[in-house]
Amino acid sequence: MVMLQMAEKTTKTKRRALLMTQNEPTGTPSEPSEAPAAFQEPQPLPGDAFDRMRMDPEIQKFRRKLMIGAGAVGAIVVLIVIWSLLPSPPPKGETLASKLAKAGDSPAQNENGGKMVLPPDVPLMQPEEPLPQVNSGNLVFRPPGSSDLKTASALPKVSGGDLARLAAAEEVLGKFLETPSWKQRVLLVRDRLRVAPLMSIYYSKNADGPMAYDSIVEATEISPKFTQHVVVFEGGGRRVATVEHSPAGARVDWESFVGAGEMAWSDFLELKQAAPTLFRVQVSPAGHFENQFGDPSKLQCYSLRNISEPGAKVVYGYAEKNGPIAKALDYQLQLSEDATVPMMLRLKFPPDASVDFQVWISQLVQAGWVTP
């Protein structure tokens, strides 16, 4: 095969890369000029033919176009990927015109002014969802993620006199907690003549001294006579303190603060006292049945916890099922939103008690630990 030089008619581009030279063979006698050049053979140019072909101008131009096109396609692909990763804008609400178009009632055109005229039965403003009627001063709202409406009562107004009462209560409560002994603390408690002997017995069995606390929070006025406060101790525990407001000044209700009863809780369990004895306990429903109290069809069981002594044992109290005591206890438990309810109960052991953690509930004195 012989590759010859040629020129295109349109571009006149010469293919110079693969041109072959014609050399006369050595040792061959020359022929007359009129004879055809039968003895001339093509000779290859020095170097690799592929390398010379790559240097062709038209091939190089085509290569550049190909690279530019590939780069443009790659850039478009990158832009499409980035656009797909971007967050889509929130869908816009349907306009009134689109809703009418879907319903088949497109707005009509005014013949004179060319303005859009709505049908007579379509209001200009869509009515809002009606809210239920509530008492004045309440706020109706819908919590996030819920379809139900909630009603929030407005905070009670606190007058200057109420603020002064709360401030006086917190002041006397702080002094009550910081006093070094019960003999000084008794001067800050209500009904101190009756309570002083109980405090003497209590602190003979329990540690005396100042009570380290972190803060006093959640001051609440529960009645014109009493305010309630939550004491946060340094160890993280909490206890409710009630302060009485009398003409003599603010005084702390010591009995409800320590959960005192008519006798020490540990002595009551140790002696298995058969006589009804008054105690302040935290009451919650339970289901422990054994020994003399083993019939759940006849008895109702409650868990009783006393806070007057550190680490005091929890006992189970029983009352006749569907009896007046059980009904009163269940009623108080249903009224409260908490799992346990403070109550004042009279408790007693059965005459032949075999254990110290099962007692009879002989009387519900009252709900709450503060006596009037």
Query: pLDDT by residue (tens digit) across 258-288?
Result: 999 999 999 999 999 999 999 999 999 999 9
| Shared domain check, 249 and 271 | no
34 falls within a domain: no
- Among 192, 225, 258, the domain boundary falls at 258
Range 27-40 average pLDDT: 50
Res 193 pLDDT > 60: yes
pTM of the model: 0.56
What's CA 129's distance to the chain center, in Å?
Answer: 28
pLDDT of residue 157: 47
pLDDT of residue 21: 47
Q: H/E/C letters for each residue in 172-217?
A: HHHHHHHCCCHHHHHHHECCHHHHHHHHHHHHHHCCCCCCCEEEEE
83 falls within a domain: no
| Shared domain check, 361 and 293 | yes
Neighbours of 340 (CB within 10 A): 15
pLDDT tens-place string over residues 301-332: 999 999 998 888 999 999 999 999 999 999 99
Distance, CA of 99 to CA of 102 (rounded, Å): 5
284 falls within a domain: yes
184 falls within a domain: yes
Distance, CA of 82 to CA of 13 (rounded, Å): 44
Q: Which two tokens stand for residue 57?
A: 């101008």
pLDDT tens-place string over residues 110-150: 444 555 555 555 554 555 555 555 444 445 555 555 556 65
- For residue 206, the enclosing domain spans 160-258
Range 241-261 average pLDDT: 93
pLDDT of residue 150: 58
How many CA atoms lie within 13 Å of 166's alpha carbon, on the beta-carbon side? 16
Number of domains observed in the structure of the chain = 2
| Shared domain check, 295 and 272 | yes
Q: Which two tokens stand for residue 74?
A: 């790659």
Alpha helices (runs of H) in the chain, residue ranges in sequence order? 49-54, 57-85, 96-103, 160-178, 182-185, 192-205, 254-258, 265-271, 324-335
- Non-local (6+) Cβ contacts of 298 within 8 A are 320, 321
Element (H, E) at 359: strand 358-367
Element (H, E) at 266: helix 265-271
- Among 201, 228, 258, the domain boundary falls at 258
| Shared domain check, 337 and 298 | yes
Among 199, 326, 344, 348, which Cα is nearest to 279's?
344
161 against 85, higher pLDDT: 85
Distance, CA of 21 to CA of 45 (rounded, Å): 7
Distance, CA of 192 to CA of 185 (rounded, Å): 10
Element (H, E) at 336: none
Among 353, 351, 271, 285, which Cα is nearest to 317's?
285
